């Protein structure tokens, strides 16, 4: 008798459940990151203790007299906090069905803030000089260009009511704009797995760093493409995508634990 796991019904069930596992892991990580950004960056920048953000090891923090640069920094971190709070909720079908007006307005907010995050990122890297190395600067720039493309496509397709295509581009936009978050999780997961740095430098130009500064958004995009194809694919593709998503969920949980413990918690 064939095992239950080999039936088409099993592969059909495994794919959405693995996607839900990744969603829950990512939701925990993104909300913790949003809390960290709001408390340690947005709060002081909007108050009288703006200089305290320098203690969070920002590449370029608050600079006295640099009104434009400080405003760009505030806009960047404020956009990041909101994006991390509402971005994943846009992907929940039940919310889209039950609260369509909220979904539309939250989606517009997400896309506008994603554009702000990309543009302010360009400014900080190439005008303010907020970069660790040329490799990381190139990776951030490519990430920003892809964000602009994905957001434009998602918005255009929504206006044309081509919702199936809009969904795919919205997911791509979300994964791209989450690159900074994924970067941190990946670095921490890598350090935990290796029990210390391995191919890492302070300037993010080590062997692993040079791969991961691009991989932190290109790999999630590749996984998303696998998921899109598996939704209408055969059993083998569905099982493969389910396994990849399950591993991604485990990786996300490990990275969230590392980032929260070693990068975020000490600043509260």
Distance from C-alpha of 144 to C-alpha of 128, rounded to nearest angstrom? 16
Taking the model in full, what pTM does it have? 0.92
Q: What is the pLDDT of residue 3?
A: 38
Residue 5 lies in a domain: no
Residue 2 in this model has a pLDDT that exceeds 60: no
Q: Which of 6-15, 69-78, 169-178, 194-203 has the lowest mean pLDDT?
A: 6-15
Residue 226 lies in a domain: yes
Is 255 within 8 Å of 186 (Cβ atoms)? yes
Residue 219 in this model has a pLDDT that exceeds 70: yes
Residue 13 lies in a domain: no
Q: How many domains does the chain have?
A: 1
Average pLDDT over residues 215-227: 97
Enclosing domain of residue 88 = 19-267
Is 12 within 8 Å of 240 (Cβ atoms)? no
Q: Which of 9-13, 76-80, 197-201, 223-227 has the lowest mean pLDDT?
A: 9-13
More confident residue, 144 or 58: 144
Q: What is the pLDDT of residues 96-143, one digit of tens each?
A: 889 999 999 999 999 999 999 999 999 999 999 888 999 999 999 999
Residue 165 lies in a domain: yes
Is 88 within 8 Å of 27 (Cβ atoms)? yes
Residue 43 lies in a domain: yes
Q: What is the pLDDT of residue 260?
A: 96
Q: What is the pLDDT of residue 182?
A: 97
Average pLDDT over residues 169-178: 97
Residue 48 lies in a domain: yes
Residue 203 lies in a domain: yes
Q: Which residues contact 158 (CB under 8 A, 6 or more apart)?
A: 107, 166, 170
Residue 197 in this model has a pLDDT that exceeds 80: yes
Q: What is the pLDDT of residue 59?
A: 86
What does 130-187 look like in DSSP terms, one character per residue? --S-HHHHHHHHHHHHHHHHHHHHHHHHHHTT-HHHHHHHHHHHHHHHTHHHHHHHHH
Mean pLDDT over the full length of the chain: 91
Total Cβ atoms within 10 A of residue 30: 23
Q: What is the pLDDT of residue 9?
A: 64
DSSP H helical ranges for the chain:
8-37, 43-45, 67-86, 93-98, 100-126, 134-159, 163-177, 179-194, 207-231, 235-259
Residue 215 lies in a domain: yes
pLDDT band at 62 (very low <50, low <70, confident <90, very high): confident
Q: What is the pLDDT of residue 172?
A: 97
Q: Report DSSP state, residue 264.
A: I
Q: Which of 59-73, 79-93, 251-265 has the lowest mean pLDDT?
A: 59-73
């Amino acid at each position: 008798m064939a095992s239950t796991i080999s039936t088409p019904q099993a592969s059909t069930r495994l794919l959405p459940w693995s996607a839900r596992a990744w969603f829950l892991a990512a939701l925990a990580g993104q909300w913790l990151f949003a809390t960290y950004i709001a408390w340690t960056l947005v709060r002081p920048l909007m108050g009288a203790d703006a200089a305290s953000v320098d203690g969070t090891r920002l590449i370029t923090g608050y600079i006295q007299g640099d009104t434009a640069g400080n405003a760009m920094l505030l806009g960047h971190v404020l956009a990041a906090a909101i994006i991390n709070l509402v971005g994943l909720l846009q992907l929940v079908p039940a919310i889209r069905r039950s609260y369509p007006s909220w979904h539309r307005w939250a989606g517009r907010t997400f896309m506008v803030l994603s554009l702000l995050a990309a543009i302010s990122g360009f400014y900080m890297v190439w005008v303010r000089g907020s970069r660790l190395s040329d490799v990381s600067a190139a990776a951030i720039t490519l990430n920003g260009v892809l964000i602009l493309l994905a957001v434009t496509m998602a918005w255009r397709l929504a206006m044309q009511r081509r919702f199936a295509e809009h969904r795919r581009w919205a997911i791509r936009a979300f994964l791209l704009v989450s690159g900074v978050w994924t970067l941190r999780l990946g670095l921490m997961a890598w350090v935990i797995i290796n029990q210390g740095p391995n191919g890492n430098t302070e300037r993010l130009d080590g062997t692993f760093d040079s791969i991961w500064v691009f991989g932190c958004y290109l790999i999630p995009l590749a996984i998303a493409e696998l998921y899109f194809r598996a939704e209408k694919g055969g059993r083998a593709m569905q099982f493969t995508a389910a396994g990849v998503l399950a591993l991604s969920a485990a990786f996300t949980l490990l990275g969230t634990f590392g980032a929260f413990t070693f990068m975020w918690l000490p600043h509260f």
